[in-house]
Structure 1
């Protein structure tokens, strides 16, 4: 992850949502997610340990939400985590990101600032 990544100072999604995914993503089934960090939630789905009930906090999350965090299994994370985009990271807001941040008392992320291109200004 880049140091410019807003997720490194947030972690709200990891401490708000249930992170569930197909059991085939677990290491014991040929995937990459460590089995010891998952719990069965349905016949075909598992969740990251710590996210299966409220209050949620993924067992792989290290650090303090809103201050500085990292995923201890980042390279082995599930597709659910890989597919979750921070607001504005792909040029549009993510209401789920905003909701998780709000649940932790954090403001929504802002879109990238655009350069001032008014007459007489050099970009």
Structure 2
């Protein structure tokens, strides 16, 4: 059974939350996140440009239309919050933050699918 990742047709989290992370995840600190795509939050934190505030929040690396078809233009270099955020229902686990972001954009919550363990 092939499960299609619903994130490729969503993008709500990338246009709702501030994506902040330890500054050393950026290239300047030896990490992979391109410096030109980040803003400094404080001496210890950076965030993805576009997510600095909730008003008009949208990560500069998000392409496409939310709820239709989206992609991260720097997927392989994305920071830890993006790597760690799971869509609601992934491995049968509910993520209320995913639901909150989707609701903000008028999208229904994703169903939690309980997968039976392999025999």
TM over 0.5: yes
Q: Deviations over 1:15-46 (max 9, x none)?
A: 00000000000012110000000000111000
How far has the Cα of 1:114 moved from its partner?
7.0
Over alpha carbons, which structure has the higher Rg?
Answer: 1
RMSD of aligned C-alpha atoms?
A: 1.8
Report the counterpart of residue 58 of structure 1 in structure 2.
Answer: 59
Count residues with an aligned counterpart.
114
Call closer, same or farther: CA 1:23–1:113 in 2, change over 3 Å.
closer
The 4+ residue runs of structure 1 with deviation greater than 3 A are none
- The answer on whether the counterparts of 2:91 and 2:115 sit within 8 Å (CA) in structure 1 is no
8 A Cα contact 2:92 2:114, kept in partner: no
Contact 2:92 / 2:115 at 8 angstroms: preserved in 1?
no
CA–CA separation in structure 2 for the residues paired with 1:113 and 1:21: 31
- What residue ranges of structure 1 are gaps of 5+ in the alignment? 116-123
Residue 89 of structure 2 aligns to a residue whose secondary structure is coil
CA distance in 2: counterparts of 1:17 and 1:109, whole angstroms: 18
The alignment partner of 1:70 has SS state of strand
Hey, what's the Cα distance between the residues in 2 that align with 1:114 and 1:21?
32
Q: Secondary structure of the residue that 2:101 maps to in structure 1? A: helix
Deviation at 1:112, TM superposition (A): 2.4
